[in-house]
Amino acid sequence: MAQRIVIENCAIATVDADDTEYAFGHVVIAGNRIESLGAGRAPEGLENVVRRVDATGHLVTPGLVNTHHHFYQWITRGLATDHNLFNWLVALYPIWARIDEGMTYAAAQGSLAMMARGGVTTTMDHHYVFPRGSGDLSGSIIRAAREMGVRFTLARGSMDRSEKDGGLPPDFAVETLEGALAATEATVDEHHDASFGAMTQIAVAPCSPFSVSTELLRQGAELARRKGVRLHTHGSETVEEEQFCKELFGMGPTDYFESTGWLGEDVWMAHCVHMNDSDIAAFARTKTGVAHCPSSNARLAAGIARVPDMLAAGIPVGLGVDGTASNESGELHTELRNALLINRLGGHREAALNARQALRLGTYGGAQVLGRAREIGSLEPGKLADLVLWKLDTLAHSSIADPVTALVFGAAAPVTASFVNGRQIVEDGRLTHVDEEGIARSTRDEARRLARIAAQG
């Protein structure tokens, strides 16, 4: 019989289809699943209860789901701080092209640790820099996620359009078309787990229109569909990207993606800032998902994505940290607040997003975008036990009456406990399976080593 964990005396925001909430309720975990939840105390007489958590003063929500990130950037934070996207990329590509397995592993640990401490239970990593002879980068990233205990999708990225082909990355930073496709397929074969409750999945993820060939997009989409895995890329991030697409392909990014097989319910795209009404209609028609990254968009002066219009059109939208070279904080729980505030600066003003919608973006919306809404993203019997206990009875939040408002509008809330697959990965704000101070040291050392190597040219 599965072991049970009982969590009681807490507020609960389930983020189910009806936005069911309990002011005072309980959750019962059995094995790796949510067995039951509801108002009041847990039922009497439950057998095999190995632990009871008195969650007085807490809000329990589904674990946060991060839908866009670049873990390796953890060791290049704080550089090119006053640049737009293209200038920032040109400044950083030569450094990124020198990464190796040791650096990638440490950076993944840093990125994962920062998110997990803040209530992230599922994340992806879009990794697209594979210097020749740099080792098993994908394997090292997956290992870091396993050790942390976080549910994980590696979006195996690639770049094959360098400066000589009109692209943005330098020639030495890209793979060949054939090399990128073969390595991506091998990564799917080795690591992708399609089963219910999988801890590791792989997506096919050419980097962006300005760094990959049309052929890599086309054949990448074919590969993903042949293998039954999801597709991810960057799209419509900046005005410069839009101009690039119009000059090179004679159409805007969304039409270009459609022409290469890149709209569909198995696709999610980061940013989607510069979308006109017909772009939004195309995403809605095809159920293409969006990873909204408000802090990164602000940091790179990209603009404000039309999230309220996307939601009204029925587009699945999740939240993304994005790489920490363009969002140094590396947190997702603060993006709930940033998504709400930044969208209220747009045309919809105070009607743009409310606290419940922001929480939904960071949980269920993310699960939809990663293709896992049957398994995670809401607290419902039978779903996987990925959930977070937010402490809301301290100075920062105790005078805010409504717990969801406190979580979204208030300061970043401390995480008392976070569970993934019924297994606790955070206790009182500390990671339970890894050494946080050790990661702080190794990421600093690897950042310095990369800076040294890059300076040698």
The dihedrals phi and psi of 113, each to the nearest 5 degrees, come to -60, -45
Stretch that binds Zn ion, among 11-19, 194-202, 267-275, 371-379 (CB under 5 A): 267-275
* Closer by beta carbon to Zn ion, 258 or else 322: 322
Please report how close the Cβ of residue 304 comes to Zn ion at its closest, in angstroms: 17
Return phi, psi of residue 441, to 5°: -70, -50
**Stretch 33-72: interaction string toward Zn ion, x if CB under 5 A:** ----------------------------------------
- Give min distance, CB of 409 to Zn ion, in A: 27
Min dist. Cβ of residue 318 to Zn ion (A): 13
Considering only residues 140-159, where is the footprint of Zn ion by CB under 5 A?
Answer: none
Instruction: Tell the smallest beta-carbon distance from residue 46 to Zn ion (Å).
Output: 45
- Of 4 and 127, which has the nearer Cβ to Zn ion? 127
Q: Is the Cβ of residue 85 or residue 404 nearer to Zn ion in the bound state?
A: 85
Q: What does the alpha-carbon distance between residue 303 and residue 295 come to, in Å, rounded to a whole number?
A: 10
Residue among 7 and 270 whose Cβ is closer to Zn ion: 270
Helix %, strand %, coil % of the chain (to 5): 40, 20, 40
User: What 3-state DSSP class applies to 415?
Assistant: strand
Q: Which of 152, 78, 165 is nearest to 108 (CA)?
A: 152
Residues 320-359 that bind Zn ion (CB under 5 A): 322
Contact segment (CB under 5 A) with Zn ion among 11-19, 35-43, 81-89, 263-271 equals: 263-271
Tracing tokens 């999708």 back to the chain, one arrives at 153
Q: Whose Cβ is closer to Zn ion: residue 70's or residue 337's?
A: 70
Residue count, binding to Zn ion (CB under 5 A): 2
Output the smallest distance, CB 408 to Zn ion, in A: 24
Residue nearest Zn ion, CB atom distance: 322
Binding to Zn ion in span 269-288, by CB under 5 A? 270
Nearer to Zn ion, 202 or 270 (CB): 270
Name the residue among 6, 98, 18, 97 with its Cα closest to residue 44.
Answer: 6
Residues 6+ apart with CB under 8 A from 293: 68, 270, 271, 319, 320, 321, 322, 327, 335
Q: Which is nearer to Zn ion, 80 or 411 (CB)?
A: 80
Is 111 or 416 the residue whose CB approaches Zn ion more closely?
A: 111
CA angle 341, 345, 351 (to 5 degrees): 75
Q: Which stretch binds Zn ion (CB under 5 A): 167-175, 265-273, 274-282, 383-391?
A: 265-273
As beta bridge partners, residue 419 has 387, 424
Show the DSSP H helices in 324-414 as ranges: 333-344, 355-360, 366-369, 403-409
Closer CB to Zn ion, 270 or 426, in the complex: 270
| Of 71-79, 179-187, 247-255, 266-274: span binding Zn ion (CB under 5 A) | 266-274
**DSSP H helical segments within 293-399, as ranges?**
294-299, 307-313, 333-344, 355-360, 366-369
Work out how close the CB of 67 gets to Zn ion at its nearest, in angstroms, rounded to a whole number. 11
CB of 296 to Zn ion, least distance (A): 7
Q: In this chain, which stretch among 167-175, 316-324, 353-361, 382-390 interacts with Zn ion, using CB under 5 A?
A: 316-324
CB of 129 to Zn ion, least distance (A): 12
Nearer to Zn ion, 320 or 414 (CB): 320
CB of 66 to Zn ion, least distance (A): 12
Tell the smallest beta-carbon distance from residue 406 to Zn ion (Å).
30
Where along the sequence are the contacts to Zn ion (CB under 5 A)?
Answer: 270, 322
